[in-house]
Amino acid sequence: MVKESMGFSLEEVNWPKDVERMTDLEKKHSPRIVCPDTVKPGEMFEVKIITGKLLKHPNESGHFIMWTELYAGDRFLGRTQFAPVTTEPETCFIVSLNKSAELIAYSMCNLHGLWKNTVHIEVK
Ligand SMILES: [Fe+2]
């Protein structure tokens, strides 16, 4: 069931259409990736992912962020599962890369589907 008219889809990955004018739904669900712009090859660094950074997402048993995953391009880096009420949808991965990549974060809301955000990280 596609709910494009409601601002999200349960069949496809969602992301902000215009980052300068995000809707409240986009602000609540878009995973914010916080990491350095540039790292050295093989250097360990932190990638923090916060869902609902711009506008707090509900955190109750009927509506919550279920998990967050991190990829470097197609490569899976990690997943954090969240319990409603008792954990906030924030996580941190310690990562090393050997070449520049798009970091991709996905967050899954139990009511509003899958949401994505990306950042480019330069390795040199
Ligand atoms: Fe939601």
Q: Which domain holds residue 105?
A: 4-123
Distance 111 CA to ligand 1 centre (A): 5
Q: Write out pLDDT tens, residues 65-105.
A: 999 999 999 999 999 999 999 999 999 999 999 999 999 99
Q: Please, which residues have CB within 8 angstroms of residue 86's CB and are 6 or more apart in sequence?
A: none
What Cα–Cα distance (Å) separates residue 99 from each residue in 41, 74, 110, 117, 123?
7, 13, 34, 20, 5
Domain containing residue 10: CATH number: 2.60.40.730
Tell me which residue of 60, 59, 39, 37 sits closest to 50, measured CA to CA.
59
Q: How many domains does the chain have?
A: 1
Ligand 1 centre and the CA of 98: distance in Å? 35
Give distance in angstroms: CA of 97 to centre of ligand 1: 32
DSSP assignment, residue 116? E
48 CA to centre of ligand 1 in angstroms: 20
Is this structure's pTM higher than 0.85? yes
If you measure from the C-alpha of residue 65 to the centroid of ligand 1, how many angstroms do you get, rounded to a whole number? 7
